[in-house]
Structure 1
Amino acid sequence: REDYALKWCEIKCQETYYHFKEGEQLLYQIPNNGVLTSKIGLLCCLREQERVMNTSSRNPNSKLLKMEEFFPESFRLDLKNERNAFFALCKDEQIWICKPSCSNQGRGIFLLKNPAAVNTLQAKFHRAEEYLLSKRVLYRAPQARIVQRYIQQPLLLEGKKFDVRSYLLIACTAPYVLFFAQGYVRLTCVNYDAASDDLTVHLTNQYMQKKNSLYSQLKDETIWRMEHFNSYVNEKFRKPKGLPKDWVFTVFTKRMKQIILQCFLAAKHKLDRKLGYFDLLGCDFLIDENFKVWLLEMNANPALHTNCEVLKDIIPAIVYESLDLVLEIFNKCLKGHRILPLETLCHFVLLYHEDDADLGQKQPLKLQSDLHKGQYMRPHTDSASLAKVLENSPKKPG
């Protein structure tokens, strides 16, 4: 259908964007969001940003991090020179993780745990090249994959590996208005063992954990609220590691926001921009045993299922407030009103507002004290009030 006011499409298709009416309709998922959400897209954007940083005179006030400070060392396997560089480097017992560029839910991921496994992969590529030569095929790129240095010493919660899902809301692309929200912690069902061949030990996403025989009885234990995580870190690690109180809601949260904003800035000039495009991305972070924060990936169309008690509270609030903010900003843009302040801002935090942006300045909004503690507010806007927002618009969508 083309006569919509707002369309939330999980699967992107060309026709959806072809018929999109800018300034009249709202459409979920920026068409080329893969520059952020595919492994190769994100890697290329960050490398390009790094090259610019290295060739230009570095601004002493710049908040930009070096890639090595937050992104595991990575190589593209679809490019022969990078592939060869990886195979030349990988001669020790370091573990590497191989991921398809555009997949999710852990599909197609495998570990390279020793030089023998790397040699097997190298031989596979070599055979494929020889086959193409024998068939006189000029060129066919291998499947788009990256191989990434595996974080072998992750921080563990009760002996289990975990990562943190947070959210980036691109509420508007013309102008850019971005928000950050805390999400939740995802744990494995069983204790961590770097030597294990069981992928459910290494990959924390729910799709993968469902494959573990213990999942049905441990389901609610595989998702923690951020408050629970913060309390655990305060109790178990604060004194031994010399961490500040509430490290999760102070240092860690600040780092996540810094990394997410840097990734967006690396890609913003490549994203398609039309008034009405918006996006909600899932950002996954891993913390190692030294409390260094690593970005694992950014995901388009993040899982919004509510199959356990914690998610029943978190996910609806994320979705409702995302829509509230998108509608409020869209309506203000149509009327030519100032975007700030925002009436519908609750537990999201303003990350970037293009009209006010300055890399040397802090963004104007800060976490409110109650939200700083990770309190989630219930959705406060019902369907009637959403309709009212659209009704008041001078251009009625659809």
Structure 2
Amino acid sequence: MKKLKILTIFLVFCSGISIAQEISITPKKLPYYKLYEWPGKGVIVAGKDFKGNTLQQEITLVSASGETKWQEQYMPQVENPYPIYSEHSDYLYFLDQLQPDNGKIFYNQTNLSGYIRKGSIYFPPVFRSVSDIDYSSCELIDINNATDDLIFHFRLKDKKNKQYQDVLVFLNHYSLKTFIAKVPAVFPFDVVEKGDKSLLYFAGSKADENYFVHTTVKDKKEGFDILIFDKKGAFSGSRFLLSPDAAIELSDRKAFFPSGAYYNPATVFSARGQLFFMENEWYLSSRKGTALSVWKQDDNDAFQLFGSYEVKTKKNPGHAVGLTKINGNLLVTVSSDLEQTGFVLSEKGETVASHEWGEQQQYSENPSGLLRENSGSTFWLLFDDGWRKAGKIEFSEELQSLTFEKE
């Protein structure tokens, strides 16, 4: 009897281990149809009505420990709202529009607690504090999810003065108040066309600092002018970083995570080198023909070569580049006229994995998949207990469970 009791306890213990090794989630109300890796937070699983009788959406957050943190519903105005998130932010937005509709954009915001807030921004009144800028003449070119704010990047093409003027609208994550900033720099048409200046783009953020960058020439030296704005849109200063190579050619910026420009392939941010700010460090991607170089800033504000890659192309050597960091690795995506490629550089700059794909945009929804060579279309995530792959979602009327299987 004693041996039987010990055996029973042992079997129960083993059963507990087996259960702990399985991560499975079931929708509450709406069937799953999409997965999004939320950098450093876990994975968002989205559900919607299979028959389309309601626009309601359901989102579930599964943490790296395998715990279902929450399952919540929200009601957008469109069937497929646009997720906007990044490695910088603990807030996730689903936008109903990427361009203002009658001056408005509607959104649903959530955070790590699963608290969903619905709201909208009506832009014309916000622009009144920059009275010399006509809102109706501005174009919304990008939307970026920064550490403290969701930032709407507008651009005015001032034909009268032959220059571009940028305006930034900050939606604070916490208060949902809006602030506006007129960028203290203008970009003359002829200077941009000659390549002496690039147009402005978002490079990254940290607490109370948002970085917007353009290439320029100062004291006959080429480099990067970094404009810094706080969480309320106030301009707080600038700094200049010298380019490591005067022969850098034009390349485009590729959004790694869904931003406004990510959804619009017509939006182009070209510059002689692309700066990225991640985890309090500056990285630079540069191009010479088909050779892509990645640089990292050292303690003396100088860029040191970190890694390089030869881009495959048909005729046009130009390409677009995106960078992000996961688990100490630098993830790089490159899009040329021939293919899209992803590769991974270790902390020492060594290439540890590489991928090639066609029109898929999987890297944005599952960047960790780049860490696994030849991952194909499988959705991979690094949980606390190791690598797991998500089961394939079969969108149907039934409320089917989704399982993350251990490697």
Shorter-chain TM band:
under 0.3
Flag the structure with higher helix content: 1
Flag the structure with higher strand content: 2
Q: TM-score, normalised by structure 1?
A: 0.27
Q: TM-score, normalised by structure 2?
A: 0.26
Larger Rg: 2
